[in-house]
Amino acid sequence: MADTARNPHAGAPFTDDDATIAAALEEVSVPALLCSMVHLTGDPSWIRGDIRPQYAMLNDFQSSMPAEMQAEARRLALAAIIDYRDSGCELPPAPGPELIHEMMSFLAVAPVDDAVVPMFAEDLHLDGADSRAIEWGEEVSADVRADAHVVVIGCGESGLLTGIRLAQAGLPFTIIEKTDGAGGTWRDNRYPGARVDVGSHFYCYSFEPSEHWSEYFVRQPELRSYFERVLEKYEVGANCRFNTEVVSATWDEATGRWSVEVRGADGAVDTIDARIVISATGALNAPKLPEIDGIESFAGPAFHSARWDDSIDLAGKRVAQIGAGASGFQLAPAIADEVEHLSIFQRTPQWMFPNMNYHRAVPEGDAWAMRHLPFYTRWFRFLMFYPAAGLSIENSRVDPNFDDSDGMAISEMNSITRAWFGDWISSQLADRPDLLELSMPQYPPTAKRTLQDNGSWLTCLKKPNVELVRTGISRIVPEGVVTDDGVLHEADVICFATGFRHNDFLWPMTITGRGGVTLREQWGEEPEALLGISVPNFPNLFCVYGPGTNLAHGASLIFQSECQVNYIMSAIHELLAGGHRSMVPTAEAFDAYTSRYRSEIAQMVWAHWSVKHSHFKNSEGRIFTISPWPIPTYWGWTRAVDPMQYEFD
Ligand code: NAP
């Protein structure tokens, strides 16, 4: 078969010897291997026997299959793979939809509901095509396209994706990016230890190959390179203005166009005309420094984790790390051995669950399988996606019949989770009751962003040069950090791992819509948008990763972006093909959506009264940041715009 015709997920043909293949199989995910065998042999019996995954669990690549069962599967697969190799790596006809459904249920260890099969199928791309690629026809004329300049704000994962789709639609567009390249959060967050905590083979564009990752949860430099490579591959760079910041965007009702004011690195201000503006700024991009007395008085270098100062050599330094959320959790273990002393100031302990694959390199054998075994990497992706598909979001709902008065759990199931997470923390700190007491959270599990640990965080706390400080911070002085008990914790360097202005969407830009209203005035402390995407009074403005769309219960933000960009492209199509000038959500659609959102989110664990500090919550303790929707529900809502929910003119 000519390589040009080969499905990109079918794996590259190979001639490796038997021993090499056998060695590779020792390192693969057996459940994903068995699905690959169905493709490779055309025989469904691989998933119909007794050799099968036992339990679908996030980040368990073997799905609890006993070792002997795995060994038998490998033995059988080896013979089939050798035959396949010897016959020139020719694939039999592809499995049909029913068999694909069966394979999903096999990996899920449960029947996968008919309603969600299309979502997983779309994400798997087993036919080798990009199912969400934009293919507009004559209904949008070349003139209309040429006049529909789109400004995209930001070139992180979602802005880059937006650029790819706009290019496919043949629309003129400009991406304004304040830094010097693509990657967004994966460009900004260069602190030591920064890595993704959603499996890499899922945390990537669904339509791009994913067999190249060097670790199961890759570090920041590799992600940054990935986005740079995708930018180049899709030739989006020519449409980017790097080192340029959007200052404001103003809607002109008379012309039905946006005027976007941008400022270059040299301070020069320029205005760009656009019919459509798409915000792809990310929700966690503006660093938040704590309001601590004396913060300016510190004598040494002090910086935010997302503004890591590479010029500073931490060797032999006393470092104060203020904040121990997702960033701090990665930072401390990465620098602890280098610094003389590390004081970690943690206001609230974090829930975490064990993930032994968290720092694991993809071994050569698994990398071989990803390169060569048909559709293996796609099924490995499904293995990551299925348990994270939010199908069990009901576990995040506060049970009104459960006694939560002690603030420790919100339901029976949540108590079980508490015991599981708590056991991990206890097991790691059994020899340090002092640290155990400081580290056990006193709020329901999953109520803040749940972190993952392979032992690195809790082991780090036990190092002789590391001190976990749970006493509140009173002030910062030139010599270090003073806690409420009057103790001065001397430091040479302070790193603020204190998070981001999650509630301040599109901050600090001034976005002015109809009637001169600004987004900030309209939103105040309660940012809301239809589906988190479009906002009344702001015609032809769309947000990716807007209010109420961050994920605390599953999936990957890249998957979420693919849903949102899909919807936005459908909306733009409706606008242009319909010959309209502008579109805004109707008051009815917006009100119906937002009242449902408010009611739903208020019932969820993240809104629980026992959580005193959380970047999910606004200053009044209410939530407008994260999604309460099951992943398939939101996927369904964003497959295509509903024109009835919009006013066009
Ligand atoms: P974060 O989770 O909000 O953590 C901020 C830390 O700073 C918390 O420990 C917080 O304490 C503390 N803090 C904030 N203000 C403080 C103050 N005034 N005094 C004392 N302590 C203060 O921020 P983050 O760690 O940067 O993570 C933010 C989000 O970014 C995450 O939820 C996640 O979505 C994303 N992220 C992802 C990854 C990844 O994929 N691996 C890595 C990093 C970040 P409290 O807990 O008491 O508020």
Distance 195 CA to ligand 1 centre (A): 15
Chain segment 66-96, per-residue pLDDT in tens:
999 999 999 999 999 999 999 999 999 999 9
Query: Which residue has 């109707």 as its token pair?
Result: 586
Mean pLDDT (the chain) is 97
Percent pLDDT > 90 in the chain is: 97
Instruction: Evaluate the omega torsion of the peptide bond into residue 508 and state whether it is cis, within 30 degrees of 0.
Output: yes
Whether 185 lines ligand 1, by a CB cut-off of 6 Å, is: no
What does each C-alpha distance from 570 to 232, 393, 575 come to in angstroms? 25, 28, 9
Reading the block at residue 152, the tokens are 């995209």
Indicate the SS3 state at residue 87: coil
Residue nearest to atom 28 of ligand 1 (CA): 499
What does each C-alpha distance from 579 to 139, 166, 290 come to in angstroms? 10, 18, 49
Reading the block at residue 159, the tokens are 């802005």
Confidence tier at 116 by pLDDT (50, 70, 90): very high
For residue 573, give the DSSP letter. Answer: H
Decide if pLDDT at 2 tops 90.
Answer: no
Whether 282 lines ligand 1, by a CB cut-off of 6 Å, is: no
Chain segment 400-443, per-residue pLDDT in tens:
999 999 999 999 999 999 999 999 999 999 999 999 999 999 99
Whether 336 lines ligand 1, by a CB cut-off of 6 Å, is: no
pLDDT at 1: 40
* 577 and 252 Cβ atoms separated by less than 8 Å: no
Whether 534 lines ligand 1, by a CB cut-off of 6 Å, is: no
- Rounded-to-integer distance, Cα 558 and Cα 113, Å: 23
* 124 and 147 Cβ atoms separated by less than 8 Å: no
Distance 345 CA to ligand 1 centre (A): 12
- Rounded-to-integer distance, Cα 605 and Cα 267, Å: 45
Beta bridge pairs of residue 542 = 278
Distance 9 CA to ligand 1 centre (A): 37
Q: Tell me what the mean pLDDT of segment 172-183 comes to.
A: 98
Q: Tell me what the mean pLDDT of segment 525-538 comes to.
A: 98
Confidence tier at 5 by pLDDT (50, 70, 90): confident
pLDDT at 552: 93
Residue nearest to atom 46 of ligand 1 (CA): 348
Whether 600 lines ligand 1, by a CB cut-off of 6 Å, is: no
Chain segment 342-378, per-residue pLDDT in tens:
999 999 999 999 999 999 999 999 999 999 999 999 9
Distance 323 CA to ligand 1 centre (A): 6
Confidence tier at 503 by pLDDT (50, 70, 90): very high
- Rounded-to-integer distance, Cα 372 and Cα 366, Å: 10
Whether 320 lines ligand 1, by a CB cut-off of 6 Å, is: no
Confidence tier at 4 by pLDDT (50, 70, 90): low
pLDDT at 555: 84
What does each C-alpha distance from 378 to 109, 412, 473, 502, 503 come to in angstroms? 17, 35, 48, 33, 35
Decide if pLDDT at 390 tops 80.
Answer: no
- CA 226 vs. chain centroid, Å, equals 15
Within 170-219, where are the H helices? 185-188
CA-only gyration radius of the chain, Å: 26
Q: In this structure, which amino acid lies at residue 503?
A: N
Whether 223 lines ligand 1, by a CB cut-off of 6 Å, is: no
Decide if pLDDT at 3 tops 60.
Answer: no
Helix (H) or strand (E) holding 271: strand 269-274
Chain segment 258-305, per-residue pLDDT in tens:
999 999 999 999 999 999 999 999 999 999 999 999 999 999 999 999
pLDDT at 27: 98
Residue nearest to atom 26 of ligand 1 (CA): 499
Distance 555 CA to ligand 1 centre (A): 20
pLDDT at 392: 79
- Rounded-to-integer distance, Cα 71 and Cα 77, Å: 10
Distance 455 CA to ligand 1 centre (A): 19
Decide if pLDDT at 221 tops 90.
Answer: yes
For residue 606, give the DSSP letter. Answer: G
* 574 and 415 Cβ atoms separated by less than 8 Å: no
- Rounded-to-integer distance, Cα 546 and Cα 531, Å: 9
